[in-house]
Structure 1
């Protein structure tokens, strides 16, 4: 079964691939971009909109603001929101340094994200986190309750199951992928660095399976106090429904919306529907 990594986790079948690639193409828009020194690294970011409500976008594994959030940077309401996309350290244009995956890499990304927003002058802001970025957002919200307004997460999990490990191991070796599948990430990283970094990510995420219950951030979920919106694609091949259900049960006051046709890249493939859901939630 063909699988593709593109900024988040994985996509199946050619239609998903074409949809994701089309939706994430660069676009023309008024946007500020630059690098901000945060915690010893230069983090790349892009900022658009002039609304009072600041929103930070968290990309997925090996992802970047442009590969993962083109439709959101382009189309989220710029009068109501100020939208900031960023490349976590070692990803996209936030290199050097090379990416590594110590056991605390999600916590490190969460701290970088919050400190970046503070450095850019935002006192309070909301979070939109996809896949690995959703995990980072969960941790950021739990550890920084005073600065987080609201949070939206999708394609994310608070623990790693044995089934999850099997999915990751099946795609460890990118040389077995088709050239078309490898191309998006090879354009960002180069073939050798992409292969090495992807394998390191597989090892990095797998190490959580050795923790009690495979926890990534299970113990932090009860600390989340901001309004939280969980979106799940019912046809997501990488994140079974038990993961969003677990988040719903363990995040006080959270709500869950299921998109029947949604897969892992639901915010790209169904961008208009997703953006409206997010805007309505943030403005509620």
Structure 2
């Protein structure tokens, strides 16, 4: 480590000393300073800086320099600002005191108490915790609520893993959704867990690494980091929170979009992923999702200390052994099949009252509505379907899928159940089917709710990166001749080539329609507004802070909006 002479350091400090800048456009204040090692006076890089429980913060750069941007309304005099780095004692001071300092922050190393393990002498059992692959992936928009005047540094995602109580880490594996950047620098951190949230960092060595980007936007790409050189030994913890935080990001030349980086997740009914937008901000939960992060470790002891497997099949066992959680097995609750044109439609029915059909999205199944079935069945006879070729429904056709075919299947199901008229709740592809059904069978529709629907394919309706993901998926599947791969390819093709609804045709829909979308939906907002504007008896609601997956991520809000429309005056509780 370099040591600075007094004169050299004085020159360095004067060069980097605090500058107070007023940004006229964003009305933000920028404080600049430097973080240094208190013993050597050398720059201390990648120090996390944040206001406790506030979305304000940043990270110092490779030379210890930091630039903290904030609005006057963001912070108060008694707020606490923290400077923290792995292996160092954190510095805490109140905001008023910080403003009076020279912004030169000294951090001192913490005593090293890490117990060393001779892993070669006792390799233990190699085990994996977490998950790094899934067939169904969420693309959360959790970082889009970053204040406009803020930077990307300090954003952090985490997931909680059950582990054995004496492990030595070997490998970190995860996936990223985009590489539309030249380089991104990340920090892995590991926290103890308290009340279901990350608590205290338990690492004593800083794990920082670069991911090199490219222009390809396709399916998420794997990243593997060798952790053995860091000698990370975790003992006495039954579960940990493992996180990835952004330290620095270099966009591609000429790219002004600053596309968000994030770790994708997959549906996990017993899980929650976590995020915070700055290093001292409050952790937020994203329910029913599980980050694609996995660690491989040597488990020094097994037996009674063995952790519960984190994979999805163990969730099924947990649910089956706990009757109170049986609702999480929607889609496997002894439903029935109805024969349709060259296929069979599987359905499950819950509750009593006016019929309400639930129509899921592409490559989904009944369980997608696990957060809606029980509360809605208190007021309706809920009939949830697996769409043709998905879930437990059967497709014997080899022709491309169309939403018109799905609408015909729904009509056949209604006739078979002697239902003359029903309300429809359609999510994504299910919303497309609901609109087409209303045009084909107007007398069979009571009310319609569509969430994240679209009238036509392409970039005018759907976010470009989502289109590229489905193109990549289709092209990859086309190389396989087995029936399941071909079925999956046709489902991807459906998104890319369908539907073909004329906006003027929507004027023929006579049933009341509620058009919903998340603020950060994969369906573009202008397109959602277009749909609502051409349906005479309709209203529009864009759900703030949500994306395409609001039915599982924020079910209380979604369910209340839906019930208020379908049955005004009824309570969701």
TM-score by length of 1: 0.78
Look up the match of 2:326.
Answer: 28
Is contact 2:519-2:544 (8 Å) kept? yes
**Aligned mates of 2:263, 2:484 — CA distance in 1:** 21
**Aligned mates of 1:5, 1:248 — CA distance in 2:** 32
Q: Is 1:240 the equivalent of 2:240?
A: no
Is contact 2:504-2:534 (8 Å) kept? no
How far residue 217 of structure 1 moved from its aligned partner, in angstroms, is 4.7
How far residue 279 of structure 1 moved from its aligned partner, in angstroms, is 1.1
How far residue 162 of structure 1 moved from its aligned partner, in angstroms, is 3.2
**Aligned mates of 1:140, 1:165 — CA distance in 2:** 25
How far residue 112 of structure 1 moved from its aligned partner, in angstroms, is 0.7
* Structure 1: unaligned runs, 5 residues or longer: 178-191, 209-213
Using CA pairs under 8 Å that are at least 6 residues apart, name the structure with larger relative contact order, 1 or 2.
Answer: 1
For residues 156-185 of structure 1, the C-alpha deviation after alignment (integer angstroms, 9 at most, x for no partner) is 1112233538432334334999xxxxxxxx
- 1:51-62 equivalent positions in 2, closer than 5 A: 51=353, 53-62=354-363
Whose Rg is larger? 2
339, 362, 366: which one pairs with 1:37?
339
Is contact 1:158-1:216 (8 Å) kept? yes
Q: Per the alignment, do residues 77 and 175 of structure 1 end up closer, same or farther by CA in structure 2, a change over 3 Å counting?
A: closer
Look up the match of 2:389.
Answer: 90
Q: Is 1:206 the equivalent of 2:507?
A: no
**SS class of match (1:42):** strand
Look up the match of 2:560.
Answer: 276
Look up the match of 2:503.
Answer: 218
515, 532, 537: which one pairs with 1:253?
537
Q: Per the alignment, do residues 282 and 126 of structure 1 end up closer, same or farther by CA in structure 2, a change over 3 Å counting?
A: same
**Aligned mates of 1:81, 1:279 — CA distance in 2:** 10
Look up the match of 2:372.
Answer: 72
**SS class of match (1:252):** coil
**Aligned mates of 1:240, 1:41 — CA distance in 2:** 34
Q: Is 1:156 the equivalent of 2:453?
A: yes
For residues 216-246 of structure 1, the C-alpha deviation after alignment (integer angstroms, 9 at most, x for no partner) is 353531111100001110011x111012101
Is contact 2:458-2:467 (8 Å) kept? no
Q: Per the alignment, do residues 130 and 169 of structure 1 end up closer, same or farther by CA in structure 2, a change over 3 Å counting?
A: same
**Aligned mates of 1:231, 1:280 — CA distance in 2:** 13
Is contact 2:350-2:377 (8 Å) kept? no
Look up the match of 2:364.
Answer: 63
**Aligned mates of 1:207, 1:96 — CA distance in 2:** 19
Q: Per the alignment, do residues 216 and 175 of structure 1 end up closer, same or farther by CA in structure 2, a change over 3 Å counting?
A: closer
**Aligned mates of 1:231, 1:37 — CA distance in 2:** 32
Q: Is 1:130 the equivalent of 2:415?
A: no
Q: Per the alignment, do residues 144 and 98 of structure 1 end up closer, same or farther by CA in structure 2, a change over 3 Å counting?
A: closer
- 1:4-23 equivalent positions in 2, closer than 5 A: 6=136, 11-12=139-140, 13-14=262-263, 17=266, 22=271, 23=288
How far residue 74 of structure 1 moved from its aligned partner, in angstroms, is 2.5
The structure richer in helix per residue is 1
Q: Is 1:227 the equivalent of 2:512?
A: yes
* Structure 2: unaligned runs, 5 residues or longer: 1-131, 141-261, 272-287, 290-315, 320-324, 477-481, 569-573
The structure richer in strand per residue is 2
How far residue 150 of structure 1 moved from its aligned partner, in angstroms, is 0.2
TM-score by length of 2: 0.41
How far residue 77 of structure 1 moved from its aligned partner, in angstroms, is 4.0
**Aligned mates of 1:3, 1:170 — CA distance in 2:** 16
How far residue 33 of structure 1 moved from its aligned partner, in angstroms, is 1.2
- 1:136-151 equivalent positions in 2, closer than 5 A: 136-151=433-448
